Amino acid sequence: MLRDDAGFTLAELLIACALIGFVMSGLYALLASGQQMYLTGTNQMDAQQTLRLAVQRITAEVRDAGYCPTCGTGSPAITPFSAITSANATGFTIQNDWDASWNGAAGINTASAVNYVVLNNNGTTTTTQRGEQSIYAFSAGILTRQEIGIDAAPVVLASNLAALTFTYLDRNGTVLTTPVSAIQEGRIRTIVIKAVGQPQVQPSTFQAGRVQVAMTDTVRLRNRAP
The model's pTM: 0.81
Q: How many separate helices (H) and strands (E) can be counted in the chain?
A: 2, 10
Confidence of residue 208 (pLDDT cuts 50, 70, 90): low
Higher pLDDT, 197 or 218: 218
Is residue 65 scored above 70 in pLDDT? yes
**What pLDDT, on a 0 to 100 scale, did the predictor assign at position 115?**
96
Output the pLDDT for position 1. 53
Over residues 203-216, mean pLDDT: 74
For 6-16, the pLDDT digits (tens) are 666 777 788 88
Give the dihedral of Cα atoms 144, 147, 151, 155; nearest 10 deg: -10
pLDDT of 2 strictly over 60:
no
Q: Can you give the pLDDT at residue 209?
A: 66
What does the mean pLDDT of the chain come to? 87
| Chain length of the chain | 226
- What per-residue confidence (pLDDT) applies to 37? 73
Instruction: State the pLDDT at residue 191.
Output: 96
pLDDT of residue 10: 77
Give yes or no for residue 100 having a pLDDT over 70: yes
Confidence of residue 130 (pLDDT cuts 50, 70, 90): very high
Which tops the pLDDT comparison, 12 or 172?
172
Which pLDDT value is given to residue 3?
A: 58
Query: pLDDT at position 151, please?
Result: 97
pLDDT value of residue 204: 64
Domain boundaries, the chain: 39-96+133-220
Given a cut of 80, whether residue 32 has pLDDT beyond it is no
- Is residue 126 a contact partner of residue 120, using CB atoms and an 8 Å limit? yes
Question: CA 179 to CA 177: how far, in whole Å?
Answer: 6
How far is the C-alpha of 25 from the C-alpha of 18, rounded, in Å?
10
Does pLDDT of 213 surpass 90?
A: no
Question: Percent of the chain beyond pLDDT 70?
Answer: 89
Q: What is the mean pLDDT of residues 196-217?
A: 77
Which of 74-83, 153-162, 203-212 comes out lowest in average pLDDT?
Answer: 203-212
> How far, in Å, are 94, 106, 111 from residue 81 at the CA level?
11, 9, 17
